[in-house]
Amino acid sequence: MRRETFGEYVARVMKQKGLGATDVERNSGNKIDRSHVSKIMRGVEKNPTAKAMLALAAGLGVGPHEVFTAVTGCPPDESQSNAPDVREILSMMERVAMDPELAEALRGFMRISEGGRAAVTRMLRFSYEENQPVRQRGRRGKKVR
């Protein structure tokens, strides 16, 4: 599967949020100008400075880590967050919409308390991990991929 370019990412977010380059400029507090945004969208500017990434994030109304990920293709350290990315969420939503059994399971999951959801999530994670093939272990007992 082809990875989305940085320019495609910016164009997609702007389209989803109904933003133009002028809106991004204004939302950033004029820290990035519309011509710079346009260059990014066209793929002319591929390696923005950290300052430009922060301004663009503000202009798009997204977190700086999301812009950094789009520029580099390096997701945040997974130990920091288990939150799925936007594409994964959209894919899950599509599967739920197409599968009545998944939709019913999600409805039930959303009806239980926060503590109950945490317990169910732990149980699902344990069940999933138990059904994964056994991996070799290295010298210190850690799993080797």
Q: Which residues of the chain have pLDDT under 50?
A: 78-80
Token pair recorded at residue 118: 């945490």
According to DSSP, the residues that pair with 88 across neighbouring strands are: none
> Which pLDDT value is given to residue 91?
81
pTM > 0.85: yes or no = no
Q: Which residues contact 28 (CB under 8 A, 6 or more apart)?
A: 55, 56, 58, 59
Residue 134, classed as helix, strand or coil, is coil
Contact 62, 85 (CB under 8 A): no
Residue 25 CA to residue 35 CA, distance in Å, equals: 9
| DSSP code per residue over 4-61 | PPHHHHHHHHHHHHT--HHHHHHHTTSSS-HHHHHHHHHTS--S--HHHHHHHHHHHT
Q: What is the DSSP string of 67-88?
A: HHHHHH--PPPTTT--PPPHHH
